[in-house]
Amino acid sequence: MGNDSRLEVLLRDTPWDRIVHWYGRATEFPDQARLVASGQADAAVFDQISNSIEHQDGVMQASPFMVAVLLECLREPNSDKPRILAVLQQVYNAVVSCGRAPFDNPELPLADELWPPFVDADTDAGLWEEFQGENFPYWQQHCCDEIKAARTLIGSFGDEAFIWS
């Protein structure tokens, strides 16, 4: 670990190959996040991230992890802060629009829901059929909590940078 940034620790220690977003395993997120942090991400990368972590006002298992990563990317000097804030705003709006009340235990239930190591696409297709997504409310709450906890950081980009509901 040594001098690794919080961003690198998150990217290294999150089991991206065993959590899913709306289109499959989240294995592309670390490379995308590094592009975002360095300011080298184009609109297509931001669209891929956005569409993967929020879809039709819903979030998925990998969403809260990528929200935490995007919040860390905001701290990077070369990152495209307006685009990062736009993605975070989209996730926040989606979660808030569901009108979920806070939970007694908003801990992210990751350990019980890790997908098995990748075998092949057919095996993953079968896993999708079995996947119930019973923890959508917890993922929503965790996304919302992550963003609200970063209110000071987000606010440092100006009052117009983010609309709080």
Q: What is the pLDDT of residue 31?
A: 98
**26 C-beta neighbours (distance < 10 Å), count:** 25
Q: What is the pLDDT of residue 141?
A: 79
Structure pTM?
0.84
Q: What is the pLDDT of residue 106?
A: 43
Quote the DSSP letter at residue 42: -
pLDDT, averaged per 10 consecutive residues of the chain (165 residues), comes to: 83 92 94 98 97 89 92 95 95 77 45 79 84 68 84 83 78
Q: What is the pLDDT of residue 12?
A: 94
Q: How far apart are CA 103 and CA 110, in angstroms?
A: 16
Q: What is the pLDDT of residue 110?
A: 56
Tokens of 126: 């079968």
Q: What is the pLDDT of residue 103?
A: 40
